[in-house]
């Protein structure tokens, strides 16, 4: 878990940032789905540890950020993958509180 939070997540956050080309940011949603699937499986096996909950709290804003992205392609991809995001993250605590307002934004776009 240490290498994930110290090396991989910061790298992922950088790649998901608005300074990157939209072709790079397009991958953010798909990667968040993959992270969510793993975290959801861990949650179904039992309670998540504090580092795992922290990881979810760091990834969730990245998902929501794709919905507010300046690029229509990134927003469209987020909308197209939203059901996958919900399915991947539905077992995790307090995630739906962030995803429901994000979904409402997608409906307005």
Q: What is the pLDDT along the chain (109 residues), one digit of tens a residue?
A: 577 667 777 887 887 887 888 888 888 777 888 888 888 888 888 877 888 888 888 888 888 888 888 888 988 988 998 898 888 888 887 888 888 998 898 888 7
Task: Give strand ranges (E) for the chain.
Answer: none
Q: Please give the backbone phi and psi of residue 69, each rounded to the nearest 5 degrees, phi first.
A: -60, 150
Q: How many CB atoms lie within 10 A of CB 13?
A: 15
DSSP 95: -
14: closest CA among 49, 53, 62?
62
Confidence at residue 1, expressed as pLDDT on a 0 to 100 scale = 56
Q: Are 67 and 106 in contact (CB under 8 A)?
A: yes
Burial class (CB in 10 A: 0-12, 13-18, 19+), 108: exposed
Confidence at residue 90, expressed as pLDDT on a 0 to 100 scale = 84
């Amino acid at each position: 878990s240490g290498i994930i939070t110290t090396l991989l997540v910061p790298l992922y956050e950088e790649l998901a940032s608005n300074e990157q080309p939209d072709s790079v940011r397009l991958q953010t949603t798909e990667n968040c789905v993959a992270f969510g699937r793993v975290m959801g499986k861990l949650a179904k096996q039992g309670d998540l540890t504090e580092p795992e909950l922290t990881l979810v709290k760091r990834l969730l804003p990245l998902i929501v950020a794709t919905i507010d992205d300046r690029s229509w392609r990134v927003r469209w991809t987020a909308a197209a993958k939203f059901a996958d995001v919900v399915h991947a993250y539905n077992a995790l605590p307090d995630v739906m509180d962030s995803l429901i307002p994000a979904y409402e934004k997608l409906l307005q776009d």
